[in-house]
Chains A and B, each alone.
Chain A
Amino acid sequence: MQDNSEPKNIERRRFIRNGMQLALAGTLVGVAALSVKKTRASGMVWQIDPFKCVQCGRCATECVRMPSAVKCVHAYNLCGYCDLCGGYLKPDPNARSTAAENQLCPTAAIQRRFIEDPFYEYVIDENLCIGCAKCVAGCTSFGNGSLHLQIRHNLCKNCNECAIARVCPAEAISRIPADKPYQIKGGFRKTPAKDKG
């Protein structure tokens, strides 16, 4: 009886040991594969969904690039080319002029160009833009929402974990396919269309 029970215990121990080793190896391989996939993330880039953005200012302060890789972009097909532009001028400006005291942008990154009476074109100077979204808030609150933020991929380091995405209160930043790296308003729409003005 004793002779029979001893080999049985050995078999059980060996089985458990082999099982543990296999499980450990499998876990290690799985974790390694996932890590490699996540680290490389080739074909994916970070981008802002302009319909989720709440203009919190974190894009200006949290990006590892200085100034931020996030810039304001302008969907011209949505713009009203207004003289009284909510994205360019402070609310209740002294005059509708290019004077610094009337400009909403803290770095004067928006250029106002006369087209014809009474229409003006607004162009972003990306060298000056810090991605603070102050103009986006003004345009969204008082205008058509044609000004919005995008991550510029010629500037973005495409970090493994985006420093802005980590603190974005609206969770508006996510990875999207690199073959469609921008989500420009006008051509891009995630929310159901609301045509009523």
Chain B
Amino acid sequence: MKRKHINIILVILALAIVFIIGKDFIGNKAGKNMDNPYKLDVDQFKKIDSTTVLYNEIKTFQVNDSSPKGIAVAGKQILVLTEKQLIRYDYSGKELSRFELPDTANCIAPVTKDQIWIGMLHSVASFDANGKLLTRWKNFDENSVITSLAVSGKTVYVADAGNRIVYQCNTNGEILSKIGEKNEQKGVPGYIIPSPCFDLALDDNGFLWVANTGRHSLENYNHDGSLRTAWGESSVKIDGFIGCCNPAQFAILPDNSFVTAEKGIPRIKLYDQHGVLQGIVAAPQLFDNGWYAPDLAIDVNQRILALDFDRKQVRIFEKNVNGNK
């Protein structure tokens, strides 16, 4: 009887030791779950009013590549640019085709007339719908980092984050003018581009808009390169742009309202044509982290397509009933 009691006590002790060791092991060693007295609470800035969300995510599909770079819409097809290839998907996410690119790609222009313009690291190339190379310019220097393209008729606008300038080129690659150089007479403040986040787009009237990300503003230019207007505010509040380089990506809807994507606190927002916040397209909670702002494209039904670089997904957002009101 006495020996039995001793055995029971020993078994209980053994179980207690195993429990303590196991708990310590699962808890990743003692002391690892302490509070941080120096914590910078970034999550407080991610909170949004759910009534301001105007869009629903209606479709998501995975990109079959590890290095997506850009997104565009061509009719009923979605084009996803990767570092080495261009992949075509239908709206169900089914891959239709893909073709190889001659160099490391970085950005894709909104598709016009079945001609696909792609920005490489130091060059710009265009392809037909079947992937046949039509033209390629290599007239940019080694400092250039081509981050965005827009095409209007025979004019191609090229954003070069490395040289902090926008080139206005013809389709043969001749540089017609440089837009955005600091010029007090034209009222141009000059670009501040702290990182390779330097997007541009054309509005419905063919005027150029450029994201001056270091100034947290979107700037609108005349064809002669003079500044027409600009809007944007630095703020962690929902109606402003936060961080070093925002809006990192943007697109313009047919009614000349703006869709912006930010990094740092990742979020997609909708502004009217005067820069007044209309609401949220995608809240920060929908994204994993804020290292990369999603690239944006608009389709014919005014749905917003976002290329999520962290999840490597195409995410499609459609205006909800609340948004349509």
Which of A82, A86, A141 is most buried by chain B, counting CB atoms within 10 A of its CB?
A141
Which of B31-39, B110-118, B131-139, B224-232 contacts the other chain?
A: B31-39
Within 279-325 of B, Cβ neighbours of A (below 8 Å) are at: 290-292, 309
Interface residues of A, CB < 8 Å — how many? 38
Query: At the interface, yes or no: B42 with Cβ under 8 Å from chain A?
Result: yes
A-B contact count (CB 8 A): 105
Q: In the complex, what distance in Å separates the CA atom of A56 from the CA atom of B244?
A: 23
| CB-CB under 8 A for A142 and B214, given A61-B37, A80-B194 | no
Interface residues of B, CB < 8 Å — how many? 43
Check if B39 sits within 8 Å of A57, measured CB to CB: yes
Q: Name the B residues within 8 Å of A168 (CB-CB).
A: 32
Q: In the complex, what distance in Å separates the CA atom of A196 from the CA atom of B80?
A: 14
Q: In the complex, what distance in Å separates the CA atom of A82 from the CA atom of B215?
A: 9
Q: In the complex, what distance in Å separates the CA atom of A141 from the CA atom of B245?
A: 11
Check if B38 sits within 8 Å of A141, measured CB to CB: no
Check if B194 sits within 8 Å of A86, measured CB to CB: no
Q: Which residue of B lies closest to A192 (CB)?
A: B66
Check if A166 sits within 8 Å of B45, measured CB to CB: no
Check if A57 sits within 8 Å of B244, measured CB to CB: no
Q: Which residue of B lies closest to A56 (CB)?
A: B36
- Which of A79, A84, A167 lies in contact with B234, CB distance below 8 A? A84
Task: Give B31 Cβ to nearest chain A Cβ, in Å.
Answer: 4
Check if B36 sits within 8 Å of A57, measured CB to CB: yes
| CB-CB under 8 A for A167 and B31, given A84-B234, A142-B243 | yes
Query: At the interface, yes or no: A8 with Cβ under 8 Å from chain B?
Result: no
Q: In the complex, what distance in Å separates the CA atom of A84 from the CA atom of B217?
A: 13
Q: In the complex, what distance in Å separates the CA atom of A58 from the CA atom of B29?
A: 14
Check if A86 sits within 8 Å of B192, measured CB to CB: no
Q: Name the A residues within 8 Å of B309 (CB-CB).
A: 194, 196
Query: At the interface, yes or no: A133 with Cβ under 8 Å from chain B?
Result: yes
Q: Name the B residues within 8 Å of A7 (CB-CB).
A: none
| CB-CB under 8 A for A106 and B234, given A142-B244, A143-B243 | no
Within 139-165 of A, Cβ neighbours of B (below 8 Å) are at: 141-144
Which of B45, B69, B192, B263 is most buried by chain A, counting CB atoms within 10 A of its CB?
B192
- Which of A84, A85, A106, A169 lies in contact with B38, CB distance below 8 A? A106
Q: Which residue of A lies closest to B104 (CB)?
A: A195
Within 10-64 of A, Cβ neighbours of B (below 8 Å) are at: 55-58, 60-62
- Which of A84, A91, A133, A134 lies in contact with B244, CB distance below 8 A? A84
Check if B40 sits within 8 Å of A80, measured CB to CB: no
Check if A86 sits within 8 Å of B195, measured CB to CB: no
Q: Name the B residues within 8 Å of A81 (CB-CB).
A: 194
Q: In the complex, what distance in Å separates the CA atom of A138 from the CA atom of B38?
A: 12
Check if A133 sits within 8 Å of B242, measured CB to CB: no
**Sampled A-B contacts (30; CB under 8 Å):** A57-B39, A58-B31, A61-B37, A79-B194, A80-B214, A86-B243, A91-B236, A104-B40, A119-B192, A132-B38, A134-B40, A137-B39, A137-B40, A137-B42, A138-B40, A141-B243, A141-B264, A142-B244, A142-B265, A143-B194, A143-B244, A166-B29, A168-B32, A169-B33, A194-B292, A194-B309, A196-B69, A196-B106, A197-B147, A197-B195
Seed contacts A80-B244, A144-B194, A196-B106; 12 additional CB < 8 Å A-B pairs: A55-B40, A84-B244, A85-B244, A141-B243, A141-B265, A167-B29, A167-B31, A196-B292, A197-B147, A197-B196, A197-B245, A197-B292
The 9 A-B pairs with the shortest beta carbon distances in the complex, nearest first, are A80-B194, A197-B196, A57-B36, A132-B38, A142-B243, A167-B31, A137-B40, A197-B197, A57-B38
